[in-house]
């Protein structure tokens, strides 16, 4: 279906209504499979023991946190350049989810760092740049919440999102550019993954499950946002009618 | 070019004649630097060690807090609409206004920093390093801040929103500014490496800031 | 100049400045902004005692001595030089001989690094224990990042 058809919110709502039950089912199946593999099938690491299981939540959350910002950047282009009516809705609905995954990544990383590194937190380049992304997510949410006019807030947020996208390569390559406490990339790296398949497969399953979870929540949030805007328009029309 | 020069001179004149801008920033800077020793307690050695960091935090907050007037005054008296309709490219206009703003708020902070360094028990080497890093780094703060200032005026919201949006963008400037200042004051890192990155950050924000701020003004003022 | 030409010029100038900034960053990265210093760095730069630094490297095999009340001493090496580290406190789980470690603290006048915090650094490899053992048995235990003792099985820290 071409993107232009989705520009009509009613058609989009109809499509979301049809897709959501399937997405929910797929998410549940993938999540069950992923958790079962992560908790019962995946072996312990030769050095870290069972603590390595934190990775199955930590790494997918980190990937999603960055992917959601990338998605919001594309949506920001949609808002500014093509004036796609749903782009702003997509970005607004994605921001709290992105903030949530970033928080999950920071939290699990912290809990993992304490036993393995010996500290909950250090100010190295990788941790700091992710924290900056978390703060920017919160800033965007604050912006959407304080400004009443949705289209005005949307354009302002789009510009900030694009400026914040500079942070994405910094997060990804921070472990290569500076000698950080955080170890270098294990999966997406030159020379193939450095994770044994018995640990890599559960990791990728969990990544798929959390991505599906994001897709489900995102579509539902977009639907809610569209409905919320309709209610707002109706209220304004009603108020105008009452005063006239 | 002529219009940009006129704009620059006009902005500097307004800031100097009204008084508020330059003096207020320095006064705020002074208050922050005066507050920290009380919070730390009497420990001159500790003060000397974290002095560069205190000066940088003070300068960062002082230059950010002055920013919300960058476009607000022009918006109120209608000259911002004239500027938007004018022939000069908006990006350059923003850059010129930011330059005027830096000359009247950032530069006084840099000039004041050696004196404040003295009362923080810094040695001559560290004072020179802090002043040099502030001279190179404060333009980055002002130019990055133009984005926040432009958003604040188009959203008609001031107050805390602006710092919340802009502060995360200034973290790299702070990191490398303080790293360079500390390197000069002794330590294991060379002064040149963080200082070069600080210069790069300033150049980057001189481009990114005006482009993003101009886009924000165009998108918000329709 | 037309409006269009002026816009292009402006964009070009902007990109030029960004390129300059990128070149500056790349030239500075060669000089490397570091989270920690290796023992060779510390010896070469003649770090004065009392300056707070982070020391990073591998725990030299066979150098760990445990004293009373959680006191430990070990050597941190980067292959060229080694610095002895004294620390009192609980070591992280991943701390073992031959593994990466980062100690925060300062040199004392005798050249011993007094650490008040020890962090373990791990590499990007994950595998089950059986696989690691099998690799070692077959002699395929390659470690491109760090020169680790090839035959040594991973030591369990009590």
> What percentage of residues in chain C have a pLDDT greater than 70?
82
A163 touches B210 (CB < 8 A): no
**Complex confidence, ipTM:** 0.78
CB distance C24–B194 less than 8 Å? no
Q: Which residues of B touch C22 (CB under 8 A)?
A: 200
Strand-strand pairing, C82-88 and C113-121? parallel
Q: What angle do CA C152, C153, C157 make, to 5 degrees?
A: 110
- Total Cβ atoms within 10 A of residue A196: 19
Interchain CB distance below 8 Å, B211 and C48: no
Residue with the bigger pLDDT between C144 and B221: it is B221
pLDDT of B138 strictly over 70: yes
Report pTM.
Answer: 0.82
Mean pLDDT to the nearest integer, B11-33: 80
pLDDT: which is higher, A128 or C69: A128
Using CA atoms, how far apart are residues A172 and C106, in angstroms rounded to an integer?
A: 31
Helix (H, G, I), strand (E, B) or coil at C34: strand
Is residue C145 very low, low, confident or very high in pLDDT (cuts 50, 70, 90)? very low
Q: Which residues partner with C107 through β-bridges? A: C113
- The per-residue pLDDT for A61 is 95
Contacts of A234 (CB under 8 A, 6+ apart): none
pLDDT, position C156 = 40
As a whole number of angstroms, the distance between CA B70 and CA B148 comes to 10
Chain C closest CA to A12's CA: distance in Å? Answer: 37
Contact B219 A80 (CB under 8 A): yes
CB contact under 8 A, A143 and B167: no
Beta carbons of B44 and B121 less than 8 angstroms apart: yes
Residue A115 to residue A96: CA distance in whole angstroms: 30
Residue C142 pLDDT > 70:
no
pLDDT tens, residue by residue, C87-107? 888 888 778 787 888 888 888
**How far apart (Å, rounded) are the C-alpha atoms in residues B153 and B220?**
9
B192 part of contact set with chain C, CB < 8 Å: yes
For the stretch A121-127, contacts whose Cβ atoms lie closer than 8 Å and that sit 24 or more positions apart, written own/partner, are A122/A181, A122/C35, A122/C119, A124/A178, A124/A180, A124/A181, A124/A182, A124/C35, A125/A170, A125/A174, A125/A175, A125/A177, A125/A178, A125/A180, A125/C35, A126/A171, A126/A174, A126/A175, A126/A180, A126/A182, A127/A180, A127/A181, A127/A182
Centroid of chain to Cα A121? 22
Is any Cβ of chain A less than 8 angstroms from the Cβ of C39? Answer: no
Residue of C41, C126, C136, C154 to mutate for A, most A C-beta atoms under 10 A:
C126
Instruction: Provide the mean pLDDT of chain B.
Output: 85
State the total domains in chain A: 1
Say yes or no to pLDDT of C58 above 80: yes
Give the fold, CATH level 3, of C39-121: OB fold (Dihydrolipoamide Acetyltransferase, E2P) (2.40.50)
- Look at B194 and C33 and tell me if their CB atoms are within 8 Å: yes
Burial of A110-122, coded b for 16+ CB within 10 Å and e otherwise, reads: eebbeebbbbeeb
| Alpha-carbon torsion (A112, A114, A118, A121), positive or negative | positive
Sort out which chain B residues have CB atoms less than 8 A from C41's CB and list them. Answer: 188
C contacts of B211 (beta carbons < 8 Å) = 14
Residue by residue, pLDDT tens for chain A (244 residues) are 455 666 678 888 988 999 999 999 999 999 999 999 888 888 888 777 788 888 899 999 999 999 999 999 999 998 888 888 889 999 999 999 999 999 999 999 999 888 888 888 888 788 888 999 999 999 999 888 888 788 888 888 998 999 899 889 888 888 777 767 788 777 777 777 788 888 888 999 999 999 999 999 999 999 999 999 889 889 889 988 887 6
pLDDT of residue B113: 92
Neighbouring CB atoms inside 10 A of A195's CB total 21
pLDDT > 90? residue B153: no
Note whether A146 contacts B175, CB cutoff 8 Å. no
Chains A, B: CB contacts under 8 A, how many?
57
Distance CA B177, CA B141 (A): 11
| Residue A178 contacts residue C32 (beta carbons within 8 Å) | yes
The whole-number pLDDT of residue B165 equals: 84
| Residue C31 scores a pLDDT above 90 | no
To the nearest whole angstrom, how far is the Cα of C8 from the nearest Cα of chain A? Answer: 18
Per-residue pLDDT at A204: 92
Q: Rounded to a whole number, what is the distance in Å from the CA of A198 to chain C's nearest CA?
A: 8
Q: Single out the residue of C114, C132, C122 nearest to residue C95, CA to CA.
A: C122
Most A CBs within 10 Å: which of C18, C38, C127, C132, as the mutation test of the A interface? C127
Helices (H), chain A: 9-36, 55-77, 85-116, 125-146, 150-164, 167-177, 197-243
Nearest CA in chain B to A131: B168
Q: Is B189 on the interface with C (CB under 8 A)?
A: yes
A6 inside domain: no
With a cut of 50, say whether residue C139 has pLDDT above it: yes
Question: Measured between CB atoms, does B203 come within 8 Å of chain A?
Answer: no
C127 touches chain B (CB under 8 A): no
Chains with 3 or more CB pairs under 8 A to chain A: B, C
Separation between Cα atoms, residue A90 and residue A16, nearest integer Å: 13
Q: Give the range with max mean pLDDT: A21-30, A52-61, B65-74, B178-187.
A: A21-30
Distance of CA A112 to the CA centre of its chain: 21
Q: Which residues on adjacent β-strands are paired with residue C66?
A: C72
Q: Do B215 and A159 touch (CB under 8 A)?
A: yes
List, for residues C146-155, the tens digit of each pLDDT value. 444 433 344 4
Q: Which of A139, A148, A161, A180 is best to mutate for the B interface (most B CBs within 10 A)?
A: A139
The minimal CB distance from B188 to the residues C6, C29, C41 is found for C41
Please say if the pLDDT value at position C144 is more than 70.
no
Subunits adjacent to chain C (3 or more Cβ pairs under 8 Å) = A, B
Q: Hey, is the C-beta of B218 within 8 angstroms of any chain A C-beta?
A: no
In three-state secondary structure terms, C57 is strand
- Count, residues in chain A: 244
Say how far apart CA C33 and CA C101 lie, in whole Å.
Answer: 18
Residues 14-53 (C) with a CB less than 8 A from some CB of B:
14-15, 17-18, 20-22, 24-25, 27-29, 31-34, 37, 41-42, 45, 47-48, 51, 53
CB B60 within 8 A of CB B175: no
Q: What pLDDT, on the 0 to 100 scale, is given for residue A63?
A: 94
- Whether chain C has a CB inside 8 Å of the CB on B53: the answer is no
- Please state, in angstroms and rounded to a whole number, the distance separating the CA atoms of residues A190 and A194: 10
Residue A221: per-residue pLDDT? 94
Q: Is B45 on the interface with C (CB under 8 A)?
A: no
The CA dihedral of A119, A120, A124, A130, to the nearest 10 degrees, is 160
Q: What's the domain range around A108?
A: 12-180+196-243
Judged by a CB distance cut-off of 8 A, whether residue B206 touches chain C is yes
B179 Cα to chain A: minimum distance (Å): 13
Tell me which of A99, A124, A130, A156 to substitute to probe the interface with B (most B C-beta atoms closer than 10 Å): A156
A contact residues 65-84, partner B, Cβ 8 Å cutoff? 80
Contacts of residue A221, defined as CB under 8 A and 6 or more positions apart, other chains included, come to A93, A94, A96, A97
- Residue spans of the domains in chain B: they are 2-221
Show Cβ contacts of residue C125 under 8 Å, excluding neighbours closer than 6 positions.
Answer: A186, A194, A195
Instruction: Find the CB nearest C21 among B186, B187, B200.
Output: B200
Q: Are A136 and A170 in contact (CB under 8 A)?
A: no
């Amino acid at each position: 279906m071409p993107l232009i058809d989705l520009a009509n919110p009613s058609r989009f709502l109809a499509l979301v209504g049809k897709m959501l039950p399937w997405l929910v089912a797929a998410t549940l199946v993938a999540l069950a499979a992923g958790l079962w593999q992560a908790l019962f099938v995946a072996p312990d690491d030769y050095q870290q023991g069972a603590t390595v299981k934190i990775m199955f939540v930590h790494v997918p959350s980190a990937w999603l946190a960055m992917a959601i910002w990338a998605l919001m950047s594309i949506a920001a282009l949609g808002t500014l350049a093509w004036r796609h009516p749903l782009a702003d809705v997509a970005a607004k609905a994605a921001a709290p989810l992105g903030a949530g995954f970033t928080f999950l990544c920071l939290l699990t990383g912290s809990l993992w760092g304490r036993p393995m590194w010996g500290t909950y937190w250090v100010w190295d380049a990788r941790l700091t740049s992710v924290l900056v992304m978390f703060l920017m997510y919160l800033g965007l949410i604050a912006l959407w919440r304080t400004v009443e006019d949705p289209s005005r807030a949307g354009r302002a947020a789009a510009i900030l999102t694009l400026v914040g996208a500079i942070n994405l390569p910094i997060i990804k390559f921070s472990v290569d550019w500076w000698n950080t406490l955080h170890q270098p990339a294990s999966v997406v790296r030159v020379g193939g993954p450095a994770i044994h398949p018995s640990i890599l497969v559960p990791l990728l399953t969990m990544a798929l499950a959390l991505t599906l979870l994001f897709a489900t929540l995102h579509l539902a949030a977009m639907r809610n946002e569209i409905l919320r805007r309709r209610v707002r328009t109706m209220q304004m029309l009603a108020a105008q009618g009452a005063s006239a | 070019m002529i219009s940009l020069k006129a704009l620059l001179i006009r902005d500097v004149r307004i800031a100097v004649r009204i008084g508020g801008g330059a003096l207020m920033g320095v006064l705020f800077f002074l208050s922050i630097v005066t507050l920290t020793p009380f919070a730390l307690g009497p420990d001159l050695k500790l003060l000397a060690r974290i002095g560069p960091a205190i000066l940088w935090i003070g300068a960062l907050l002082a230059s950010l807090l002055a920013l919300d007037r960058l476009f607000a005054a022009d918006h109120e008296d209608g000259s911002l609409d004239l500027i938007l309709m004018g022939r000069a490219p908006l990006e350059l206009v923003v850059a010129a206004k930011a330059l005027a703003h830096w000359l009247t708020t950032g530069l006084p902070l840099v000039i004041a920093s050696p004196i404040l360094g003295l009362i923080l028990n810094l040695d001559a080497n560290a004072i020179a390093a802090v002043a040099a890093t502030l001279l190179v780094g404060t333009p980055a703060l002002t130019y990055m801040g133009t984005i926040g200032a432009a958003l604040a005026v188009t959203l008609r919201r001031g107050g805390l929103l602006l710092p919340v949006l802009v502060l995360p963008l200034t973290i790299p400037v702070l990191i490398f500014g303080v790293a360079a200042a500390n390197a000069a004051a002794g330590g294991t890192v060379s002064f040149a490496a963080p200082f070069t990155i600080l210069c790069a950050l300033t150049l980057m924000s001189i481009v990114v800031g005006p482009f993003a701020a101009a886009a924000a003004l165009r998108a918000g003022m329709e | 100049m037309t409006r269009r030409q002026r816009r292009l010029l402006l964009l070009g100038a902007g990109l030029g400045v960004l390129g300059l900034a990128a070149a500056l960053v790349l030239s500075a990265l060669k000089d490397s902004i570091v989270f920690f210093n290796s023992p060779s760095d510390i010896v070469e730069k003649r770090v004065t005692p009392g300056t707070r630094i982070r020391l990073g490297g591998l725990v030299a095999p066979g150098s760990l001595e445990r004293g009373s009340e959680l006191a430990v001493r070990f050597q941190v090496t980067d292959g060229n030089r080694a610095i002895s580290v004294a620390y009192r406190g609980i070591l992280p789980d991943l701390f073992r001989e031959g593994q990466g470690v980062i100690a925060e603290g300062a040199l004392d006048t005798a050249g011993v690094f007094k650490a008040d915090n020890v962090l373990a650094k791990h590499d990007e490899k994950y595998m089950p224990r059986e696989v690691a053992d099998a690799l070692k048995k077959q002699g395929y235990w390659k470690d491109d990042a760090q020169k680790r003792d090839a035959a040594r099985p991973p030591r369990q820290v009590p």
